[in-house]
């Protein structure tokens, strides 16, 4: 999936203009964007944070 596809799909599904490419350069994202991403990929926000918590430096 490309960032452009994700941007377009989120715009259509959630009626929200969002540019995922900007998330790469910002030091922090907002919770609203994390909520959109987790909902889009059908993952609970708690599960998302558990995945992040378990990432090691090797990953």
- pLDDT by 10s per residue, the chain, length 59: 788 888 889 889 999 877 666 666 665 677 888 888 899 999 999 998 898 888 877 65
Buried (b) or exposed (e) across 1-19, using 16+ Cβ within 10 A? eeeeebbeebeeeeeeeee
Question: How much is the pLDDT for 44?
Answer: 94
Question: How much is the pLDDT for 1?
Answer: 79
Whole-model pTM: value is 0.66
Question: How much is the pLDDT for 20?
Answer: 65
């Amino acid at each position: 999936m490309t960032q452009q596809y994700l941007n377009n799909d989120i715009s259509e599904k959630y009626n929200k203009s969002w540019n995922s490419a900007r998330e790469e350069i910002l030091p922090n994202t907002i919770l609203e964007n994390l909520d959109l991403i987790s909902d889009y990929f059908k993952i609970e926000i708690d599960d998302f944070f558990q995945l992040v918590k378990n990432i090691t430096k090797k990953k």
